[in-house]
Structure 1
């Protein structure tokens, strides 16, 4: 649980404009020190090693936050399915299906949707479309 909280805060920090600016400044400082170190192997190794370590750690951080966001979306969709009378509640258990079963279900839904068209001139409720899409 602590890892989830820490990773969420780190992900927010890592994705901020301030962090991006810090990274640009660090790269610029590294580049400007090139002449001082005569662009030697150690100078290049510093940036290569630093970026490799940061990238390696960020993969796990991003995966953790992505898993969390996916779980949240699934829960929200599950709740919408649960309260919608016409929805098939069987959809709530899709996580237990294997890849072959999911593909078969996807084919069934494509078949249901074949021949159905959506008119862009009329809103789904039958009302005229709103000219300003920012309005609800």
Structure 2
């Protein structure tokens, strides 16, 4: 065991408090009780309208509250969504690596641009069509080699 390995074993991963917070808020925000509370709050606000003569202050309260909550929730939910997407991508990459028939060239394809992804999709469609039509292994191999070449060139560019 190298000194580097020993230090890695004893070093605890840092706690990502924002990730913990965003997960908790995302879980809470998605529950039916949260929706009921939000509807209840709006109903109370609306019921107070006649008593406050539908004043500008009455309108400002709900406008300000909803704007602030929406603004903050965007960041919290986006953080949670990004981590979920990255975790899913890691899981898919693991499946690709462990499947002998899978194309390893697709690992990291999420970093490619839209045009490259569309080209890859077209090549995969051609490969599928060739397989469905029972074309020879040589034709499928040509498509696979072309596919790998496109992926490699897209990642380099």
Q: How does 1:24-103 map to 2 (within 5 A)?
A: 24-103=39-118
The size of the alignment, in residue pairs, is 117
TM-score normalized by the length of structure 2: 0.69
CA distance in 1, matches of 2:124, 2:43: 53
CA distance in 2, matches of 1:15, 1:101: 35
2:117 is the alignment partner of 1:110: no
Q: Which has the larger radius of gyration?
A: 2
User: Which residue in 1 is equivalent to 2:35?
Assistant: 20
CA distance in 2, matches of 1:80, 1:23: 41
TM-score normalized by the length of structure 1: 0.79
2:18 is the alignment partner of 1:3: yes
Stretches of structure 1 lacking an aligned partner (at least 5 in a row) = 118-136
What's the RMSD between the two structures over aligned residues? 1.7
Q: Report deviation, 1:71.
A: 0.9
Stretches of structure 2 lacking an aligned partner (at least 5 in a row) = 1-15, 134-157
State which drifts further: 5-14 or 95-104. 95-104
